[in-house]
Amino acid sequence: MSDIVKPLRAAWWLPLLGLLVGGACALAISLLQTPLYTASTQLFVSPRESVSTSDAFQGSQLSQQRVTSYARLLSGDEMARRVIERLDLDDSTSDLRGRITATAVADTVLIDVSVRDESPRQAQGLAETVGSEFIAFVAELESPEGGGAPPVTVTVADQPEVPDSPSSPQVSRNTALGLLLGLLVGAGLAVLRTSLDRSVTDPNAASTLAGAPVIGTILRDGLLEKRHLVVRSGPGRAAEDYRQLRTNLQFLSVDNPPRVIMVSSAVPSEGKTTVVVNLGLALVDAGHRVTIIEADLRKPKVTRYLGMVGGAGLTNILAGTAEVEDVVQHYGSGELKVIAAGPTPPNPGELLSSSHMTGLVERLRSDSDFVLVDAPPLLPVADSSGLAVIMDGVLLSVRYGSTRQDQLRQAASTLERVGAKTLGVILNIVPPKAEVASAYGYGYTYEAVTPDGKHKSP
């Protein structure tokens, strides 16, 4: 049941869309159809007059045996031809035959006959003519060869009336069926969509693919996506997510906690730079000295997110044209230091895996409590492979519903191949209504406190 309920909750809009589309299509088709009117008559099959009980019983059996055959004759070509000739119609026999329905009522000598037509009066006239013509037709068929009265006679038991409303299309029924069919199709598409979705949406699957635990879940926040910086002073959800990530990171290894950490992702646009910046700020709020290295030399974003200058930086240090003190920038109170990427070099991968980079990392390790390195994505380029080796560990940013499972598996394999340690996975940009959000939530709402001690929503 959970395999069905979970996809329906995740893609609830598909059944709703199917419901609306199915109902609208059924309604439109019904309204576009030409209305048809049905006139009905009933025929009674009876034996000739009996002089004895035995004759009456045999006649009754004969009548019951005849009604099934008569029903077939009523909707046959001969009856259609007779009616067309009688009324001088332009219809073909096959067309008229398809509009005549005859049904033998079980265990009786009655035959129900109905005729459909676009005109209610024409439908009544056709039904009336079918009855009179069939009586004559039966008289011809049942008359003995030597003459005499036929053993069976047919009479009209119920005269047809002019119908006052169309019998088809049945707009209400068709619309209801369209709604139901659309709902079922939408639900099926939702389940199929989930079964075909190879993106990472489950924390347990992410942990298995990466070979490391999920240490943080960052819920989607419209303001964070626009500004890339959380409101640190408030009790907002994004700020709390990063505080929780900070706590989990500090408890990864109590005896030997990681201090130089590379943050990367499998592919671009997974939110890794936003994670680096806000995790750094969260660590600073806890009283730590933090240095962020903008090591994504091809597409640097740290300085842009923090509103800093992106001129000289890491590449100048590694090339020997500048010292750390010359390019380091301070953010806020000064506990957060940032080393920008600097000019884009022709060989980013060689610079990041050089001995100069190793020396820089060791120097910053002694000057800071934490060194966070914003590294390039692992799969598009090889820049991060050599850099990951000199780190204490790597955090992988995984975008919920976007990063594919094979991409995460390949990124983890890349780190394992070079001997780097994957510290954990950060499930990023998670929709608030996703099940993983409730699994990693805190079970309460965030409220601000007014000076009089009352709570109010932020």
37-158 placed in CATH 3.40.50.1010 = no
> Which residue's structure tokens are 């590449």?
315
Cβ distance 266 to 403 under 8 Å? yes
What is the C-alpha to C-alpha distance for residues 71 and 81, in angstroms, rounded to an integer? Answer: 16
Write out the H or E segment, with its range, that includes residue 263.
strand 260-265
CATH of 200-440, one of 3.40.50.2300, 3.40.50.300, 3.90.79.10, 3.30.70.1020: 3.40.50.300
What is the C-alpha to C-alpha distance for residues 160 and 163, in angstroms, rounded to an integer? Answer: 9
Which part of the chain has CATH 3.40.50.300?
A: 200-440
Q: Please tell me the predicted confidence (pLDDT) of residue 106.
A: 87
Q: Please tell me the predicted confidence (pLDDT) of residue 447.
A: 42
What is the C-alpha to C-alpha distance for residues 129 and 403, in angstroms, rounded to an integer? Answer: 72
- DSSP secondary structure letter of residue 345: P
CA nearest to 296, candidates 286, 307, 304, 288: 304
What is the C-alpha to C-alpha distance for residues 42 and 378, in angstroms, rounded to an integer? Answer: 81
What is the C-alpha to C-alpha distance for residues 167 and 408, in angstroms, rounded to an integer? Answer: 60
Task: Give the 3-state secondary structure of 48-83.
Answer: CCCCCHHHHHHHHHHHHHHHHHHHHHHCCHHHHHHH
Cβ distance 115 to 126 under 8 Å? yes
Residue type at position 64? Q
What is the C-alpha to C-alpha distance for residues 152 and 383, in angstroms, rounded to an integer? Answer: 99
Which part of the chain has CATH 3.30.70.1130?
A: 37-158
What is the C-alpha to C-alpha distance for residues 399 and 205, in angstroms, rounded to an integer? Answer: 13
Q: Please tell me the predicted confidence (pLDDT) of residue 192.
A: 84
Q: Please tell me the predicted confidence (pLDDT) of residue 2.
A: 67
Question: In Å, how far from its chain's centre is CA 60?
Answer: 64
Kindly report the pTM of this predicted structure: 0.63
Q: Please tell me the predicted confidence (pLDDT) of residue 231.
A: 72
Q: pLDDT tens, position by position, for the chain (458 residues)?
A: 666 777 777 788 899 999 999 999 999 999 999 999 999 999 999 887 654 455 555 556 667 778 888 999 999 999 999 999 999 999 899 999 999 999 999 888 899 999 999 999 999 999 999 999 999 999 888 888 766 778 788 999 999 999 999 998 989 999 999 999 999 999 998 888 777 778 898 899 999 999 999 999 999 888 888 888 887 666 678 889 999 999 998 888 777 889 999 999 999 989 999 999 999 999 999 999 999 999 999 999 999 999 998 888 999 999 999 999 999 999 988 789 999 999 999 989 999 999 999 999 999 999 999 999 999 999 999 999 989 999 999 999 999 989 999 999 999 999 999 999 999 999 999 988 775 644 444 333 334 334 444 444 33
Q: Which long-range contacts (CB under 8 A, 24 or more apart) does 243-250 make?
A: 243/282, 243/285, 244/216, 245/215, 245/216, 245/218, 245/275, 245/279, 245/282, 245/426, 246/279, 246/282, 246/283, 246/286, 248/215, 248/216, 248/424, 249/215, 249/216, 249/279, 249/395, 249/423, 249/424
Give the strands of the sheet with 290-294, arranged side by side: 214-219, 422-430, 393-399, 260-265, 370-374, 290-294, 336-339, 329-331
